[in-house]
Structure 1
Amino acid sequence: MQVTKHISSTQNPLIKKVLLLKEKSRERKKTGLFVLEGLRELQIAFNSLYEIETVFYCDDIIENSESNTILKSYNIDKLISVSLDVYKKIAYRDTTEGVIAIVKGKDHQLASLSFDTKNPLILIAEAPEKPGNIGALLRTADAANLDAVFIANPKADLYNPNIIRSSVGCIFSRTIKMGSTTEIISYLKKERFNIFCAALSASKDYTTVDFKEPTAIVVGTEHSGLSDEWLQNATQNIIIPMEGEIDSMNVSVSAAILIFEAKRQRKLNN
């Protein structure tokens, strides 16, 4: 792999392209491209077979470091060095490794989904908005090695830089699908999933239900919970008993508790 050019001007068209992709969801959706920052994130995306279009790196940051050696091992067509001033212009994070890439997004439609197991365990989040929560959910999904994450009625752009950053690259390591609540419920019923919805009403203690069959664990937002459509189509609504004054936890914490209970049951069943 060879460096194709060096950019020292912040007015360069490629640098303007990076800024546009970083700042505008409309541009990301139109082009199918997004901006990734950081060596760890780049490595996870590369290992997860994302198509890396262009990599920008700053020698002032990564020279003589391990990351420079790793960077050169990637099979990337365009490797462009940039000055420190240019890098500071396009960098999103205060602490970074001197590497930024333009990457092609993947297909997140339900129709393209297939599982390698006959007994999948998946997480579904309905209408999550906060990038931090979405990133935390994806980190939990990665930690549990879930078979997929579905986002129902998505309100946030999946490749928003804040989501990529908060997921610490787990956005690339997990199978993620998006669709309307109606579409996803239809898919789950066709594939004979048990649907367990985290809810306050008509619920059973989460430790008393059986997660060992094909299972979808569904969580809503902390503010409004799940829509009636989910609650009416659930195999069973489930609840995490609360012993304090509040009646809910952060959605990523709740999801983690439910997911690892499912993992515990499945391990006992092996």
Structure 2
Amino acid sequence: MFKQISSIQNPLIKELFQLKEKSRTRKKLGRFLIEGQREISLAIKGDYKLDTILFDSDIIPFNQLQSLFDTNTIDCVEITKEVYQKLAYRSTTEGVIAVAKSKIIALENISFNTATPLILVAEAPEKPGNIGAILRTADAANIDAVFIANPKTDMYNPNIIRSSVGCVFTNQIATGTTLEIIDFLKSKDVNIYCAALSDNSEHYHNQNYKQSSAIVVGTEATGLSNQWLENSKKNIIIPMQGEIDSMNVSVAAGILIFEAKRQRNFK
């Protein structure tokens, strides 16, 4: 059987709403919300532990929920449309929200299954939508890890989960300061390639990414900090043929990562 909640004033619903809205609450409780069937399935595949699944039976009946998830080991709560709309992040949705336990996203938990890992680093990305797009690119290229330097938001922000379509759960991710990540890369003998508009930058496609490589991208507004530029093996640039001299960080990351994959024969 399952519980039923019909009021948005219910203490559990109030707490879950804070999980949705507040990074501070997510960090304090070590929990976050996942909305959508595919996203929840990817989280389970990524070995995230679920506490609770809430569902609107007008959208997804309980028997359908049972066919998708192991409802014998997860608490299930039926909620009304009003409660669901209070917790849902998307206007078009699939009627199911999960409460999951956070993981510690730290450099010390990173391990590589190859001697020549390919890593994408993004420094201080401000928009959750860009982070989500970067994670989708990383998943599509099946790279070894994504590092977020000097993060501006936590990785369980609902907009990151939404815009990554669950790829926040499929990638190996770590966050840290710029210096911490540089030290980690150096300790693993990873070559650092920084996307930068500098006088000594060379065209990205003229580099060799077959060895252990980290491709580092910054924000479109400010680029990368000097710490990165001073520690790079080579600063690289994507040639522009129009009037502007930069592009969206997730687009740039995709171009650079897939050039590295092309050189590696997409293995």
- Structure 2 length as normaliser, TM-score? 0.96
Please give the secondary structure, in 2, of the residue aligned with 1:34: strand
Q: CA deviation at 1:25?
A: 1.0
2:93 matched residue in structure 1: 96
Q: Report Cα offsets for 1:214-251 as digits up to 9, x if no partner.
A: 00000000000000000000000001100111001110
1:180 matched residue in structure 2: 177
Q: 1:122 aligns with which of 82, 96, 119?
A: 119
2:255 matched residue in structure 1: 257
Q: 2:190 aligns with which of 180, 189, 193?
A: 193
1:245 matched residue in structure 2: 243
Alpha carbons of structure 1 residues 48 and 162: separation in structure 2 relative to 1, 3 Å: same
Alpha carbons of structure 1 residues 75 and 243: separation in structure 2 relative to 1, 3 Å: farther
The answer to whether the 8 A contact 1:123-1:218 is kept is yes
Please give the secondary structure, in 2, of the residue aligned with 1:136: helix
The answer to whether the 8 A contact 2:121-2:215 is kept is yes
The answer to whether the 8 A contact 1:53-1:78 is kept is yes
> In 1, distance between residues paired with 2:89 and 2:73?
22
Q: Is it true that 1:87 corresponds to 2:84 in the alignment?
A: yes
Q: 1:48 aligns with which of 33, 42, 46?
A: 46
> In 1, distance between residues paired with 2:115 and 2:67?
37
The answer to whether the 8 A contact 2:149-2:181 is kept is yes
Please give the secondary structure, in 2, of the residue aligned with 1:171: coil
2:201 matched residue in structure 1: 203
Q: Is it true that 1:68 corresponds to 2:65 in the alignment?
A: yes
> In 2, distance between residues paired with 1:266 and 1:126?
25
> In 2, distance between residues paired with 1:72 and 1:166?
23
> In 1, distance between residues paired with 2:29 and 2:141?
32
Task: List runs of 5+ in structure 1 lacking aligned partners.
Answer: none
1:160 matched residue in structure 2: 157
The amino acid of 2:48's aligned partner reads Y
2:106 matched residue in structure 1: 109
1:140 matched residue in structure 2: 137
> In 2, distance between residues paired with 1:46 and 1:70?
15
Aligned-residue RMSD, C-alpha: 1.5
The answer to whether the 8 A contact 2:121-2:149 is kept is yes
Please give the secondary structure, in 2, of the residue aligned with 1:243: coil
Identity of aligned residues (%): 59
- Structure 1 length as normaliser, TM-score? 0.95
Q: 1:24 aligns with which of 22, 25, 37?
A: 22
> In 2, distance between residues paired with 1:266 and 1:143?
15
The answer to whether the 8 A contact 1:52-1:76 is kept is no
> In 1, distance between residues paired with 2:174 and 2:69?
32
The answer to whether the 8 A contact 2:23-2:153 is kept is no
The amino acid of 1:183's aligned partner reads E
The amino acid of 1:135's aligned partner reads G
The answer to whether the 8 A contact 1:54-1:76 is kept is no
Q: Report Cα offsets for 1:31-60 as digits up to 9, x if no partner.
A: 111111111100000111001111101111
- Runs of 4+ in structure 1 deviating by more than 6 angstroms, as ranges, are none
> In 2, distance between residues paired with 1:262 and 1:38?
32
> In 1, distance between residues paired with 2:71 and 2:222?
44
Q: Report Cα offsets for 1:95-133 as digits up to 9, x if no partner.
A: 111101111111111111111111110100000010111
Q: CA deviation at 1:72?
A: 4.0
The answer to whether the 8 A contact 1:123-1:148 is kept is yes
Q: CA deviation at 1:69?
A: 4.2
Please give the secondary structure, in 2, of the residue aligned with 1:60: coil
Q: Report Cα offsets for 1:165-191 as digits up to 9, x if no partner.
A: 111100011011000000110111110
How many correspondences in the alignment?
Answer: 266
Q: CA deviation at 1:163?
A: 1.0
